[in-house]
Amino acid sequence: MNIVDVIVKPMERGQITLPVKFRQKLGITKDTLLNVTLEGDRVVIIPLKQMMADFSSSVIKPEISKEKYLLLLKEFKGKLWSAQDDVERVRMKKSEKKWDW
């Protein structure tokens, strides 16, 4: 079923009303988010859920589950900078001064 072109007139603040047939065909409700873009001399309106469906095939699926990821995080949990790192940093600073970098 093709829906023919409909001419609408913008209101004072630039708002337009999408015809009921268009909203029904695209499943647009008062809560539907719309992506509005300007392509050349055209305004393109795409329901966000439709855009998300189009992009979903390009989304990279996770290789591990959320639970496995959380277990790995616990395994690596700890200080990122240790006292030994401080000692090594001081040693490197002294070495840099010696060479006058």
Q: What is the pLDDT of residues 70-101, one digit of tens each?
A: 888 887 776 677 888 889 999 988 888 777 65
Percent of the chain topping pLDDT 90 = 37
- Please enumerate in sequence order all residues whose Cβ is within 8 A of that of 32, keeping only pairs 6 or more positions apart, or say none: 47, 48, 49
**26-31 average pLDDT score:** 89
Predicted TM-score of the model (pTM): 0.46
Amino acid identity, position 49: K
Q: Where are the domains of the chain?
A: 66-99
How far apart (Å, rounded) are the C-alpha atoms in residues 18 and 36?
13
Output the average pLDDT for the chain.
84
Contacts 24+ apart (CB under 8 A), 92-101: none
- Please enumerate in sequence order all residues whose Cβ is within 8 A of that of 50, keeping only pairs 6 or more positions apart, or say none: 26
